[in-house]
Amino acid sequence: MSRKFDLYRIVKIGMKALKRTNIPFYWSKHSRKAHTIHQHIMLIVLAQYIGNRSKKLRMIRYMDRIWKAVKLKEIPDESTISTEIRRIPKQWLRMVIEEEVKELGILGNFAVCG
């Protein structure tokens, strides 16, 4: 199974898990609506799986299938992702990561938030 396929499966399972949660799509009704909280969470989960944010951004730029699965029109800037990492409650990330681990059985590949 290729690395690209693994990333696609992670995105599909993560997006399915996010649909089942009551996490809002945006922080407020006045937000810019460039990217949803769900998209940011999926990019952060992918970064944890890959192990490096800048490497993740470079990899994802060339993966149209992942772009479509996350419903991205453009990749957010690395500073935006860093801001969202501090802003998003760890509990939300943990819910998605735990769902990934349960579905795929890949505990060794994630640095699960403590």
pLDDT in tens, 16-45: 888 888 888 888 877 777 888 888 888 888
Q: Is residue 114 part of a domain?
A: no
Is position 24 within any domain? yes
Full-model pTM: 0.74
Predicted pLDDT at 107: 56
| pLDDT per position as a tens digit, 53-97 | 666 666 666 677 777 888 888 878 778 888 888 899 988 888 888
Residue 12 pLDDT? 87
Range(s) of the domain holding residue 105: 3-109
Nearest to 81 by CA among 108, 60, 100: 60
Locus of tokens 């760890």: 90
Say how many domains are in the chain.
1
Residue 63 within any structural domain of the chain: yes
Establish if 92 belongs to a structural domain: yes
Which structure tokens are listed for 35? Answer: 């990217």
